Structure 1
């Protein structure tokens, strides 16, 4: 049952920074509807914004283009694909450059070293990047209902002090 796709939400935006917020809002709405916690939704929004920002900054180099975002909704997880048809890149090269994060003269210098990729991998349960005729970043976040349910059960099972 958990491998059956329940719903698919697609969004196509111009590859411009002004539109990344729309993707954040859409992902937030989908994740909220699925039952993710506030913190998990914030993680999802940040990860998807990083993926979209990478596409805006690197795929089209300021030129015209589009970014497709697909939210694949399953019973136990949300899979988000961020797709551009711009310049591909070598993921292994970026990962090699990332290394330990040190104090940099600017956030742009840190970002160039792969901080966005590091953030996506830290915030999501799984990240897969394919670069061929563009880049496809697929990020997966699992719903942790068992954690929420066990917390709710324990808080309601305390004896009353009456």
Structure 2
């Protein structure tokens, strides 16, 4: 309809948190299907157009949970997998003018983090306050913090940025 496909942002996600010994095969498979297979299918479809036009931007949404998180074996694995997938896309598609990067948000004020607070029986304001105390910049993230990084990575200005994982977490991730 528009004649071009310039930007793909893989942002689909679900959580099915549980400790490993309690996690069902279905919960594992659902998270892998949405995060990894979804990104694979979208990237495979988009790259055909991007390679042909010799320009494109792919941004995958990972998470700070990619480094491991209690009760999130499936989610952590999927988000780490997206980081490897991103680097592979950068290698394969770079010669055709297509960049691929990942954004790994930390604690961002969203419906998902609010649902987590409810699930563990903590008021959302208390949950946010406790999280902010653990973050070096002493606040939680906002959706626009993530959106601004994605907008940069999708722009012409990011033509020499590829294969990177950018953590948007107020300095909380310590590699």
What's the TM-score once normalised by structure 2's chain length?
Answer: 0.29
Identify, as 1 or 2, the structure richer in strand.
1
- What is the TM-score of this pair, normalised by structure 1? 0.30
